[in-house]
Structures are given as structure tokens and as C-alpha cells.
Amino acid sequence: LLASVTFLCFAGSRSPGACTALAAMEALITALFLLLYLLRLDQRLGWLFWPLADIFNSVIAALFLLIVCLFAIIIKTNNGTLAGGVFGLVLLVLCVVDAVLLFQKISLDGPRGRNTPAK
């Protein structure tokens, strides 16, 4: 939701293309991961360790958001660009929190299945 708000701020203010494209890409990728987990496709496509892919996405998005949103705040062509930059920095913090929480939750050497006890 925050990525969509960031995208709308950048798009509405006619910010540079990198700002708008990054916010749109992050909103789309986040929506695809949400859809993947809601439809339980991560269990059907077991050949990829999806939580690690989600961590990778969060870290890469945080790096790009740091650069683009700081740039948007520095140039501050109008209030929409400034608002998009601020929302993007909040999104950056959420991406870092997501990556840290997922990294703490996964175990790379344990079994890859549900957490139900074996009978």
C-alpha cells in the first residue's frame, strides 16, 4: 500500500522517471509476492526457496529506494516529489524490517515444509 502511495505521489508530481518507475516496480513486485503467498504457490513451486527470494527483493529495493528517495528529497521540484521521497523513505524502513524479520524466521539447514510436528 505504501509503495502504491509513493508511486501516486511521484506520478502525480511528474517526478523524474526513475522515481516513478522504482515505486511502480516495488508496488508490483510486492503485490506479486502477496499473491504468491495467498494462493500458496510457494508450496507448489518448491524448487525455489521463496522466503530467501523475498529477502533478496527487500534488500535490493531498500538500496534503490535509499538512492532514489534521497535524490527526490534533495531536488524537491515540488511538494509531490517531496511527499513521494518521504513515503519512499518510510517504505525503505519497512523493507529493511521485512528483510530482518524474514531472515530471523527462516532456517537454512532445517526442513523446508510446514511447522507441524511429525507423527
pLDDT digits (tens, 9 = 90+) for 74-91: 887 788 888 888 988 999
Please report whether residue 115 resides in a domain.
no
pLDDT score for 21: 85
How many domains does the structure of the chain reveal? 1
CA distance 91 to 2: 6
Predicted confidence (pLDDT) at residue 119 exceeds the cutoff of 70: no
Contact 65, 88 (CB under 8 A): yes
Indicate if the alpha-carbon torsion angle 52, 55, 60, 61 is positive or negative. Answer: positive
pLDDT score for 10: 82
- For residue range 17-55, list pLDDT tens digits in order: 777 888 888 889 888 888 988 988 777 877 877 788 888
Please report whether residue 113 resides in a domain.
no
Please report whether residue 114 resides in a domain.
no
Q: Which domain holds residue 85?
A: 1-108
Please report whether residue 48 resides in a domain.
yes
